[in-house]
Structure 1
Amino acid sequence: MTDIKKKTNAQENKTEINNSDKISGGKNIFIIKNPLITEKSYSQSLSGKYSFLVERNANKSEIKKAIKSIYKVDIIGVNTINIKGKDTRFGAKTTKHGKYKKAIVELKSGQKIDTMPA
């Protein structure tokens, strides 16, 4: 006699869970802060490139997975830029302001993300 174990519905559902939406390292989709809306980013969005402000410790693969899971689009490439903070002076004291990381995401042709206000 052969012993064949049958899977229950609960076990089948557990094995069918798609892990591609999860981001490695325990990070979640909150690495995307918000879309960056400027004149330059608007003109780039007409050619399929969209700009986002992201967490400073996020890398390109995490950004790609997060954008893919949020907007359900296919991504060709991701470029990241670290923007340095500007020095401001108040008397003898100097401080830095405005450090952030920007990601420019290029989508497959024919796909759009609705981030720009009308």
Structure 2
Amino acid sequence: MDPHEVIIAPVLTEKANLLREKENKYVFRVDARANKLEIKQAIRELFSVEPVACNVVRVKGKPKRMRRQPGRTSSWKKAVITLPPGQSIDIFESA
């Protein structure tokens, strides 16, 4: 897979910001078909850093309503990338 297809977007939440600041971990929304090896390779190519670890979580969609019609949000896959001390990803630093 192309690295731009694997990594969809960074996750910018309070919890993700705390992980980034305290533990040097970065959170991304990734393609549901991607595995850990593909995600690590995409991070290497896109950001020129060497990830130490990659943890993957499937986030289940939440039930929602549109007026009286029941529905749910889409399920998605989240990757938490751990970097060694001294390395960082620039897109998070400028945000």
TM tier, smaller: 0.7 to 0.9
Structure index of larger Rg: 1
* Contiguous gaps of at least 5 residues in structure 1: 1-26
Shift of 1:98: 3.0
1:107 to 83, 87, 93: 83
* Higher RCO, 1 vs 2 (CA within 8 Å, ≥6 residues apart): 2
Q: Structure 2: which amino acid aligns with 1:111?
A: Q
2:6 corresponds in structure 1 to: 31
1:57 corresponds in structure 2 to: 33
1:6 corresponds in structure 2 to: none
SS of equivalent to 2:34:
coil
Relative to the length of structure 2, the TM-score reads 0.87
Once superposed, what is the RMSD of the aligned Cα atoms?
Answer: 1.3
Relative to the length of structure 1, the TM-score reads 0.71
Identity %: 35
CA distance in 2, matches of 1:112, 1:88: 36
Q: Structure 1: which amino acid aligns with 2:63?
A: D
What is the number of residues matched between the two proteins?
91
